[in-house]
Structure 1
């Protein structure tokens, strides 16, 4: 299957970015670029959990609402949420009102604090699971990998919820732990260049 499509500027891009209007900017400026900011990493792993069973378009459209509801995904603040906050969030039409997923974010915020205490930052932990080139499948041909399975197991062992291998693989794609832009995509080289200038927090 052809994984490329011409963008509005005539340059080839991953075909998926043409399936919704809001995907183009996300594809061009975020997806696959390396991230070391703990709040962004926590946000993404949480949003991938919310996406479970839904489309990314649904989550992306609500992302600003999620950020407002969860204090910009500051896990130190979220860890202090109470049952009253859960009920408040369940009444918020701007987010996905799924009790289990909301409670998982609060639960995982406390786990994130514990992980930071152990590893210094979320970034150092997540980037320690960056796969080497020999482990990578052809771009956009897999939904899990050895690395995502290993990271999923590590997170679950630490008590995290909604972090299955497929969820974690999507997180790794988005946060630049792997460059899964299709060969020939104009952004693939840009993401690779950003990675070459990126200092891994795990080193």
Structure 2
């Protein structure tokens, strides 16, 4: 199949898309014509230039769908069973306390949890279970705050922390946490791979 190219006459000139748009549509309307708010005057888009930019980016290995590179690391689930407390110190003005616990693991997406408050008990039984998603390489610590619920403002009774890095895999582990004021809380922990 052969294509014959026509010879160009002197009057013919090559018209680009940009020239065609400029010839048919003026960039700015004449001053005598009112401009309606709905019509907008914009400069024509140079499609050839736009195509060159896109092809240059693709040639360099740019993929707009891969703007962020995400690497996934293993995580472990630590199950914490808050069982009970003993010898919980008295609250303000020698009242029996209304204890509850706040559990916190820094760096965990669901890192702060709270038990319910047990009204007027020195030996509360919570029997509540929580799960924490933690980095498999560095589990970090479990911070526990023993709180006393009051009408005006809750009071911190004591603080304790537990290092989770030494926690054995797939083995139930019981731990008594002792606070400065003599209070004691029993936790059961289990570390699993996700």
TM over 0.5: no
TM-score by length of structure 1 reads 0.22
Which structure has the bigger radius of gyration?
A: 2
**Structure possessing the higher relative contact order (Cα contacts under 8 Å, 6 or more residues apart):** 1
Larger strand proportion, structure 1 or 2?
A: 2
Alignment TM-score, normalising by the size of structure 2: 0.23
